Amino acid sequence: VIDELTEAERRTRYNDVITLQFCVNYGGRAELADAAGALAADAVAGKVRPDRVTDRTLARYLYNPDLSDVDLFVRSSGEQRTSNF
């Protein structure tokens, strides 16, 4: 699967109309834990005020902070979940 995704990325590298992101074996918890840890470190260092933290603040610490919110999410496993939509 990784080889096919790498080839698709190579072939579409100059496309700039839409962004398609594949998350293979991705649950999001590790990313949230990393983001929370980095945010906490910045709070301890005085770079962030804990009483001013919002969802947008946390979003700046995600792996791809410049990506917009997801428009379509496809679960190939057959699981169904519609929270936050």
> Is residue 56 in a domain?
yes
Q: What pTM value is reported for the model?
A: 0.67
Q: How many domains does the chain have?
A: 1
The encoded tokens of residue 11 equal 């072939």
* Spatial contact of 31 and 65, defined as CB atoms under 8 Å apart: no
pLDDT in tens, 58-78: 999 999 999 888 888 777 777
Cα angle 34, 79, 35 (rounded to 5 degrees) comes to 10
Question: Does 73 map to a domain?
Answer: no
pLDDT, tens digit (0-9, with 9 covering 90-100), for 40-60: 999 999 999 999 999 999 999
CA-nearest of 84, 72, 80, 85 to 23 is 72
Angle at 65 between CA 37 and CA 7, to 5 degrees: 115
The reply to whether 35 falls in a domain is yes
